[in-house]
Structure 1
Amino acid sequence: MKFKYILFTCLFSFLSLSAQKAKLESADNKYKALAYIDAIKIYEKVAENGYESAELFQKLGNSYYFNAQLEEAGKWYEKLFALNQDIDAEYYYRYAQCLKAKEDYTKANEYLSKFTQKTSSDDNRSKLYRENINYLSDIKKISNRYTIENAGINSEYSDYGAAIYNEQLVFASARDTGSVSTIRSKWTNQSFTNLYTSKINTDGTLDAPEPLSRKVNSKFNESTPVFTKDGKTMYFTRNNYINGKKRTDSEKTILLKLYKATFDGINWKDVEELPFNSNEYSVAHPALSPDNKTLYFASNMPETKGQSDIFKVAINDDGTYGKPENLGLKVNTEARETFPFVSSDNVLYFASDGQLGLGGLDVFAVKLYEDGSISKVVNLGSPLNGPHDDFAFLIDSNSKLGFFSSNRNEGNGYDDIYKLKELKPIEFECKQVIVGLITDAETGEIVKNASITLLDSEMNSVSEVMVDEEGKYRFENLECGKVYYVRGALPKYETVERSVKTDKISGETEVSLQITKKLKTVGIGTDLAKTFDIKIIYFDLDKSNIRKDAAVDLAKIVEVMKQNPTMKVDIRSHTDSRQTNMYNDKLSERRAQSTMKWMIKNGIDANRLTAKGYGENQLVNKCADGVECSEEEHQANRRSEFIITAL
């Protein structure tokens, strides 16, 4: 019986392991085919049965991550890191994005820091983070640029990717049209998207959506349309599907292609794919330049930096196309850049989860200049951007009204379309001004005729000005987010210099200077500690021996007395009110005597010095016994004075 039981147990375990292996193989096949919804069900069942591996948690996390369900993805990535194995750097980045979806930005930045440590210095995402550690506060400063509201046409399914055409909003939707044979995407388990149109009323409301055209809409995905200015040509995205047949790449995956259709005044017709499409990579999400001579799009074609990049291609006068060009590292990263849109004032808006953002895809903008150069990248800030995916932005440059898509939690369905209004324009050319006031450090009086020099981070002179009659100076047209040095000089005063980093948004940065006279005016009753800005002579806790850092300040007093051999000084030591009166009296007396002995040892005659401890009897503020004070306030009372008694 025992032998049979062991045999049965082993057989059961073998069958169980075989079943787990079969489930994993089935899930892997679905995963490779981008059928992520089906794969999730199988992977999760295996995980529920206690099976653990880095590969399993990676694929579970990825299955949710690539479906923009970042919070769910984060649960599995967390389990992945709990295994304490060597994990590829990319998962640190993905987990950081998932943490942002939960608005746990502190932990997200911890994983971004780990990501930068594990990646090479040429990774654009690492470089962006290293150079912009305070990106969250920078985004906060430029937020509240838009008001947003639900567009009112959303379904419980995915609605996204809009364009404006003849006072109508044309967009993609996965809403069920009622067909019994509706085909569903294995990726999202939703119906494939078709193009719909909704009239935009004068009050900004939208009519009930209707399908755009049977000539355009197929049984697979159509999305992200864009229209030429004359309204006769539409570019749009569709699955690789021609003449009723789907086409796949070498891994049997249906990719995306760009198509165009022509309007004959009544119907859309002559649907044809663009010549730079391929059966081996995706080309999607078209956008047109204001003159309609350049087509922008997203693709993972060769020369792509990340998962998808923004490209552009020339549209020639004869209808042919130039060679696609990557927009480069200023825009593109190792992650996703997608959903481009170009406004009439030549601003390129795009979505990215590789640029520094608030989570998922954020919307960014760059100014496209006539000479081909591109401005800095600007995050559009909240409330437009948030912890989830925000994308497919469009705006009318004149009315400042527009739309964007998002899968934020408060929406109707998987993705939703929102209306927006721009309240303040984007600043692409950030300029800073450094201003300041020059005063005498001892008297606080305004200093006139001082020369102020501005230097860059390499200590090269940028500009030089003289202060005005009010002691003020000003440097204009400076770069944002840069380190400068402000140096003040005036005869009979010591040269003073301060470093400053300008803000990353346009504005003024104040750098005031206090300069000190080279020749100090002293007399009987002068406190040499104030003259040389000696705030405190430091001793170890409850000790009276002179510390090395205190010796530096005492050496200044000794040197003054050596240069003035008739000068006599009274050393006065004070404590704060913590501890008893008796304790403080004794401690301050020991410290005063210790200070005097040190000065005598270093060359000052004993008959030129007197010393006394005053304990807590001469407080300079309110911080007596029983009064709650800050450490800084208590420190003000722990002072040493060197009062001139004779000259």
Structure 2
Amino acid sequence: MKKIYTIVLCLMLSGNVLMVQGQNTLLRYADKKADESNYYEAAKEYEKAFDRKPSYRAAKGAARAYAYLRNYERTHEFWKKAIGFDQAGREDWQHYIAAANQAGETTEVMRALDSLRATGSGMISNLYIDSLLHWYGQQDRTVLNSLDEVNSSSTEFGWTKDSRGNVYFSSDRGEVFDRNKPAVRIDKSYRYYDKKSDWTGRDFLGVYKMDQDGEITSFNVPVPEVFHLADPYFLKDQAVVFYTATRKIKRPKNYEVQPEIFFSRLDEAGNAVDFKPLPINNALEYGVKTPFVDEANRRLYFASDMPGGFGGYDLYVMEYDRDFNFGQPVNMGSSINTAGNERDPYVHDGRFYFSSDGHIGLGGLDLFVADIKEDKIGHPKNMGVPYNSPQDDFGISISDEGILLASNRPESLGLDDIFKAENIGLRFQALVVDCDGEPIKGDVDFMLQESEKQTNVSVKKEDEANFHAELRPDMDYQVLVKKQGYFTVKDDGLTTKQMVGDRITKTYQLVKIPYNTSVYVDLVYYDLDQAVIRGDAGQILDKVAELLKSFSFLDITVRSHTDSRASHAYNETLSEKRADAVRDYLGQFGIARSRVKSEWFGERQLINDCGDGVPCSESLHQLNRRSELLLLAFPDEGKAYEWPGELEGTDLCEISNILITREMPMVHFDFDKSDLNLAAMKTLEKAILMLNHMPIEGLSIEGHTDIRGSEDYNIRLSERRALVVKEYLEGRGIASDRLVYDYFGKSKPIYDCKESPCSPEMHHINRRTALTLPELNKDWRSAMQKK
């Protein structure tokens, strides 16, 4: 029995030895194929070795080989196996995270990055949890659909058009070749390897043309012995095409040939008839590829890994003249270029696009965009989902057909496919609020139109003040928001052109129309028994006419009166004539009669006690012979006014901001007097008219004297002057709580007469009671002050 156990044990040990020896043989063979860059064979042998006996070496080798072949699912599978072994280090974890990301295993990526607590370097240097959470959290209604008329089971990328409307793209759709053909490795570098063992079973890259009938043919260039041909860019203003080519260069030993940029002139049939290399080409030292020509500014953008860059491929720009004499290449700097790879430059409508695996992104090559302002390129932004994915996304093109790009995301038919961005509905949301920022209540008319054809767009109301609609891409829109009694809001700035994301959110504020608000008042006076406009009245009406011509939203109400002398019937007719005289005077300035509303009261609204039979001075009678001029904003009650251009930038939520003037008149006194003369009473009547008809809440009254006399005497005199004004206003019905008064004697003269003698007129100006109001928040009178 013991002998049997011994035999079994020996057989088991010998079996294990044979298994290890067999695996080592497979691993050595796989290593050899990987060294030869034959990753197709290497991947199969590493996987066989792992199946025979799982090991860190076999898992890591298979993961690397599948990564070169861009088989993301298998790459992720074997990196996940590799990190399960004790030998796995931090770099292996970084490769695993990158592979999980490209395989679409987002949950694994987040968990691994969080546990790693840092992005590290190399494979995951451009992955950050916060950025990934942000991009994956965006709900974009744009989807990428395969361009089926172009895509195949091969690689397709680089969609572009010539001036005839033909489409061109790069592809390796040639026949699968055998080991005896010159060997290549297809990757984003387009390198040509003169090694027979570097075999992937794929043909070289070529350029293909699809005409307007959908027929696809090869596009050839006269550069001799080209292996790879890609990245065509056809000029619009000249019959010239730029492209990337990798050509055969004879050398005695194994070597690598890098891509170069050439350009050719085109004949009338669109065929390339000659070629010239870019003067900086150096195929055995560095690569130059992905040309884009900014014809308007005569600039050639391209990617290169020439010495002196930031690492990998960088983006450069070169100036050229009409004869294609090129200047020196200029690196586009650290805001664009990184230690990774940048390529596929593209300029459209004031924006600079490119792809990069060095900027923070979603993995692999991502698409980025930066604004161009005053010939300077701003900081690039990741275009986010769905334009970018964990795989490679590159080669953007924008035209009438929309946004097209290349990607090898999982839904690709081949290694790379061309996708078109299709919008399944851009969402527009609008909130309508009042002056307090609260949702507006009641019926609101919300109208949305496409600007070009004035086509109405369906708008739905979610609740009392929220509206939403579905918009189409690359369109301009107009918004009109109406509510009875509020200013109509018009928005011509709504657009989905070059919009990133799927949602536009706006807030519209509706402001109540201050119907029939007096914004300016004045008084004109008449001689006894007359309706003729006097000289002093003419000066006032000239100003009123100018205001009416300047502000279309103003009308005027003229309220005319007489004194008590003569009969009631006579005075009624006389006051009507006075109102008509004002209307006729304003008509000389082109003010339409429809804008002048007349009212007449005869002697029914006397401002003092000078009624029938009451003896009064001529000055008191004069105060009753008057027309009150009330300039009213938005006089048509119920009309849906649009916001006047003259009030642009004015906050009408504060109604006092609409006033043309809040400057109160000044009351002046005779020397050593505190009683009111006729001029003073006229001044106060204008102030009373303002307080009664304009949105003015309170009034400050400040008494002053000239500098003559003692301090004590002038203090008492200024107090009497303030009080007499206050009492006059109160006597005319102005509530006491709207009035405050103070007095300053001679301490605040307008003219300081101590330094030099003052004229009688200057002393008269100092003898005053000043009426003042709070400051305006917004003064739109500047338009008038400039006239």
TM-score (norm 2): 0.46
**In structure 2, do the counterparts of structure 1 residues 199 and 318 end up closer, same or farther at CA, with 3 Å as the change threshold?**
closer
Deviation at 1:28, TM superposition (A): 3.6
Deviation at 1:80, TM superposition (A): 2.2
Whole-Å separation in 2 of the counterparts to 1:139 and 1:264: 48
Q: Tell me whether 1:107 sits opposite 2:108 in the alignment.
A: yes
Whole-Å separation in 1 of the counterparts to 2:423 and 2:353: 14
1:252 aligned partner? 255
**In structure 2, do the counterparts of structure 1 residues 407 and 62 end up closer, same or farther at CA, with 3 Å as the change threshold?**
same
Q: Tell me whether 1:40 sits opposite 2:40 in the alignment.
A: no
Contact 1:143 1:380 in 2 (8 A): no
Aligned pair partner of 1:133 in 114, 130, 141: 130
Contact 1:92 1:112 in 2 (8 A): no
What letter matches 1:40 in structure 2?
A
What letter matches 2:208 in structure 1?
Y
Cα root mean square deviation, aligned: 4.4
Contact 1:360 1:390 in 2 (8 A): yes
What does the per-residue CA deviation read over 1:502-548, in whole Å, with 9 as the maximum and x for residues that have no partner?
A: x9x99789xxxxxxxxxxxxxxxxxxxxxxxxxxxxxxxxxxxxxxx
1:355 aligned partner? 359
1:288 aligned partner? 293
What letter matches 2:84 in structure 1?
A
Deviation at 1:253, TM superposition (A): 3.2
What letter matches 1:172 in structure 2?
S
Q: Tell me whether 1:168 sits opposite 2:175 in the alignment.
A: no
Deviation at 1:113, TM superposition (A): 4.4
Q: Tell me whether 1:366 sits opposite 2:366 in the alignment.
A: no
Q: Tell me whether 1:150 sits opposite 2:150 in the alignment.
A: no
SS for the counterpart of 1:220 is: strand
Deviation at 1:195, TM superposition (A): 0.9
Deviation at 1:316, TM superposition (A): 4.8
What letter matches 1:196 in structure 2?
Y
What letter matches 1:416 in structure 2?
D
2:272 aligned partner? 268
1:462 aligned partner? none
Contact 2:23 2:53 in 1 (8 A): no
Deviation at 1:366, TM superposition (A): 1.8
Contact 2:97 2:124 in 1 (8 A): no
Deviation at 1:210, TM superposition (A): 0.4
2:204 aligned partner? 192
Aligned pair partner of 2:232 in 217, 220, 225: 225
What does the per-residue CA deviation read over 1:116-139, in whole Å, with 9 as the maximum and x for residues that have no partner?
A: 63638xx9975x766x71543346
Whole-Å separation in 1 of the counterparts to 2:334 and 2:73: 29
Whole-Å separation in 1 of the counterparts to 2:199 and 2:372: 35
Deviation at 1:196, TM superposition (A): 0.6
Whole-Å separation in 1 of the counterparts to 2:357 and 2:157: 18
**In structure 2, do the counterparts of structure 1 residues 240 and 35 end up closer, same or farther at CA, with 3 Å as the change threshold?**
farther
SS for the counterpart of 2:98 is: helix
Q: Tell me whether 1:60 sits opposite 2:62 in the alignment.
A: yes
Whole-Å separation in 1 of the counterparts to 2:244 and 2:252: 15
Deviation at 1:380, TM superposition (A): 4.4
2:407 aligned partner? 406
Whole-Å separation in 2 of the counterparts to 1:25 and 1:301: 36
Contact 1:172 1:196 in 2 (8 A): yes
2:156 aligned partner? 159
Alignment of 1:531-570 (within 5 A): none
Whole-Å separation in 1 of the counterparts to 2:217 and 2:41: 31
Whole-Å separation in 2 of the counterparts to 1:108 and 1:50: 28
Whole-Å separation in 2 of the counterparts to 1:247 and 1:254: 13
| Higher relative contact order, structure no. (Cα contacts within 8 Å, ≥ 6 residues apart) | 1
1:72 aligned partner? 74
Whole-Å separation in 2 of the counterparts to 1:348 and 1:144: 23
Whole-Å separation in 1 of the counterparts to 2:111 and 2:219: 47
Alignment of 1:492-503 (within 5 A): none
SS for the counterpart of 2:300 is: strand
Which runs of no fewer than 5 residues in structure 1 stay unpaired? 202-206, 426-434, 440-502, 510-647
Contact 1:348 1:367 in 2 (8 A): yes
2:304 aligned partner? 299
Whole-Å separation in 2 of the counterparts to 1:145 and 1:75: 31
What does the per-residue CA deviation read over 1:127-152, in whole Å, with 9 as the maximum and x for residues that have no partner?
A: x766x715433464473346644241
Deviation at 1:394, TM superposition (A): 0.5
What letter matches 1:311 in structure 2?
Y
**In structure 2, do the counterparts of structure 1 residues 178 and 15 end up closer, same or farther at CA, with 3 Å as the change threshold?**
closer
Q: Who wins on radius of gyration, i.e. which is larger?
A: 2
SS for the counterpart of 2:333 is: coil
**In structure 2, do the counterparts of structure 1 residues 289 and 256 end up closer, same or farther at CA, with 3 Å as the change threshold?**
same
Alignment of 1:562-641 (within 5 A): none
What letter matches 2:230 in structure 1?
S
What letter matches 2:413 in structure 1?
N
2:53 aligned partner? 50
1:308 aligned partner? 313
**In structure 2, do the counterparts of structure 1 residues 414 and 314 end up closer, same or farther at CA, with 3 Å as the change threshold?**
same
Deviation at 1:211, TM superposition (A): 0.6
Q: Tell me whether 1:215 sits opposite 2:215 in the alignment.
A: no
Deviation at 1:387, TM superposition (A): 4.1
What does the per-residue CA deviation read over 1:39-65, in whole Å, with 9 as the maximum and x for residues that have no partner?
A: 2223223322326235x5444323222
Whole-Å separation in 1 of the counterparts to 2:33 and 2:94: 25
Deviation at 1:374, TM superposition (A): 1.9
Contact 2:127 2:360 in 1 (8 A): yes
What letter matches 1:167 in structure 2?
G
Contact 1:43 1:60 in 2 (8 A): yes
Deviation at 1:98, TM superposition (A): 2.4
What letter matches 2:377 in structure 1?
S
2:525 aligned partner? none
**In structure 2, do the counterparts of structure 1 residues 319 and 388 end up closer, same or farther at CA, with 3 Å as the change threshold?**
same
Whole-Å separation in 1 of the counterparts to 2:232 and 2:310: 25
SS for the counterpart of 2:378 is: coil
1:375 aligned partner? 379
SS for the counterpart of 1:82 is: coil
Contact 1:238 1:256 in 2 (8 A): yes
Which runs of no fewer than 5 residues in structure 2 stay unpaired? 185-197, 427-433, 439-500, 508-787
SS for the counterpart of 1:176 is: coil
Whole-Å separation in 2 of the counterparts to 1:172 and 1:246: 28
1:538 aligned partner? none
Whole-Å separation in 2 of the counterparts to 1:110 and 1:162: 37
Contact 2:304 2:316 in 1 (8 A): yes
SS for the counterpart of 1:99 is: helix
Contact 2:228 2:247 in 1 (8 A): no
Deviation at 1:372, TM superposition (A): 2.7
Whole-Å separation in 2 of the counterparts to 1:12 and 1:323: 67
Kindly tell me the number of residue pairs found equivalent between the two proteins.
418
2:83 aligned partner? 81
Whole-Å separation in 2 of the counterparts to 1:272 and 1:36: 35
TM-score (norm 1): 0.54
**In structure 2, do the counterparts of structure 1 residues 215 and 362 end up closer, same or farther at CA, with 3 Å as the change threshold?**
same
Contact 2:175 2:203 in 1 (8 A): no
Whole-Å separation in 1 of the counterparts to 2:307 and 2:435: 52
Deviation at 1:33, TM superposition (A): 4.3
Whole-Å separation in 1 of the counterparts to 2:11 and 2:300: 67
What does the per-residue CA deviation read over 1:275-297, in whole Å, with 9 as the maximum and x for residues that have no partner?
A: 32331333222222243622222
Deviation at 1:94, TM superposition (A): 3.8
Q: Which has the larger displacement, 292-301 or 69-78? A: 292-301
**In structure 2, do the counterparts of structure 1 residues 195 and 417 end up closer, same or farther at CA, with 3 Å as the change threshold?**
same
SS for the counterpart of 2:275 is: strand
SS for the counterpart of 2:395 is: strand
**In structure 2, do the counterparts of structure 1 residues 219 and 138 end up closer, same or farther at CA, with 3 Å as the change threshold?**
closer
Whole-Å separation in 1 of the counterparts to 2:19 and 2:298: 62
Whole-Å separation in 2 of the counterparts to 1:336 and 1:62: 20
Deviation at 1:73, TM superposition (A): 1.1
